[in-house]
């Protein structure tokens, strides 16, 4: 911790995560870090950045997010008192994981900061709101997953490619149908023809 005017300057620990390698929600790692640094400047905090990168907040076990686990380890050591996430869903869209994080924050006296304000883990009203937001994020995530699956089913029924990398030898046309990619298809055809007649 740095000293500022004779007093200890506290550190804002900025936890940064995007949902997947294909960023869908428009909140990049850089945007999150900038928001965290702005908040730190406004409140006279030092900054420590924790970059998880691309990691699912709902389908993966929390143990599969090593940066978050290391941050929680420092919370348990009592060295972290202020954490920033751009919104609560960066911690987790899984209600159980979210509550596990909050339990640690409450036990060790951590204040959670977001773009919307701060959550004092020791305050019963803040805890209530945190749990409501966690349930909302979990619901929204399940809805997104259902809509995505239904969209893929619809595209397949319409004879269109459902998304993702196309099979080798094919490409996706403008109307999202599989068409033969001649540059790749010739290699597939050569492999299927037995050598030696």
Write the DSSP assignment of 47-92 as a string of letters.
EEEEEEEE--SSSS-GGG-HHHHHHHHHHHTT---EEE-SSGGGT-
| pLDDT score at 40 | 95
Check: CB of residue 168 under 8 Å from CB of residue 184. Answer: yes
Structure tokens at 162: 């459902």
> What residue ranges define each of the domains in the chain, with the CATH number in brackets?
2-148 (3.40.50.1390), 159-192 (no CATH)
Which whole-number Å values give the CA distances from 148 to 142, 145, 154, 155, in the listed order? 10, 5, 10, 11
**pTM (2 decimals)?**
0.61
Sort strands 111-114 and 82-84 into parallel, antiparallel or unpaired: parallel
Check: CB of residue 102 under 8 Å from CB of residue 137. Answer: no
Sign of CA dihedral 72, 133, 145, 33: negative
| pLDDT score at 35 | 94
| pLDDT score at 190 | 61
pLDDT by residue, tens only, the chain of 197 residues: 444 443 456 999 999 988 754 444 557 899 999 999 999 999 999 999 999 977 655 445 677 889 999 999 999 999 999 999 998 878 877 777 888 888 899 999 999 999 888 888 777 777 666 666 656 656 666 676 566 667 677 776 776 777 677 777 778 777 778 777 777 777 766 655 555 54
Question: Which of 115, 123, 143, 132 is closest to 58 using CA atoms?
Answer: 143
Structure tokens at 152: 């893929």
| pLDDT score at 111 | 93
**Average pLDDT of the chain to the nearest whole number:** 77
């Amino acid at each position: 911790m740095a000293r500022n005017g004779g007093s200890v300057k506290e550190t804002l620990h900025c936890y940064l995560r995007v949902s997947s390698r294909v960023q869908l929600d428009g909140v990049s790692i850089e945007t999150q870090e900038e928001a965290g640094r702005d908040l730190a400047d406004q409140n006279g905090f030092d900054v420590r950045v924790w970059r998880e990168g691309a990691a699912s907040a709902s389908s993966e076990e929390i143990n599969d997010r090593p940066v978050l686990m290391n941050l929680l380890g420092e919370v348990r050591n009592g060295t972290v008192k202020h954490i920033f996430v751009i919104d609560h869903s960066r911690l987790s869209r899984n209600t159980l994981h979210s509550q596990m994080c909050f339990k640690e924050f409450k036990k060790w006296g951590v204040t959670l900061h977001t773009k919307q304000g701060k959550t004092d883990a020791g305050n019963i009203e803040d805890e209530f709101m945190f749990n409501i937001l966690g349930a909302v994020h979990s619901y929204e995530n399940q809805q997104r997953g259902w809509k995505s699956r239904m969209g893929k089913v619809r595209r397949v029924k319409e004879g269109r490619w459902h998304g993702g990398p196309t099979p080798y030898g094919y490409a996706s046309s403008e109307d999202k149908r599989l068409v033969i990619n001649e540059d790749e298809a010739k290699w597939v055809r050569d492999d299927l023809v037995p050598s030696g007649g």
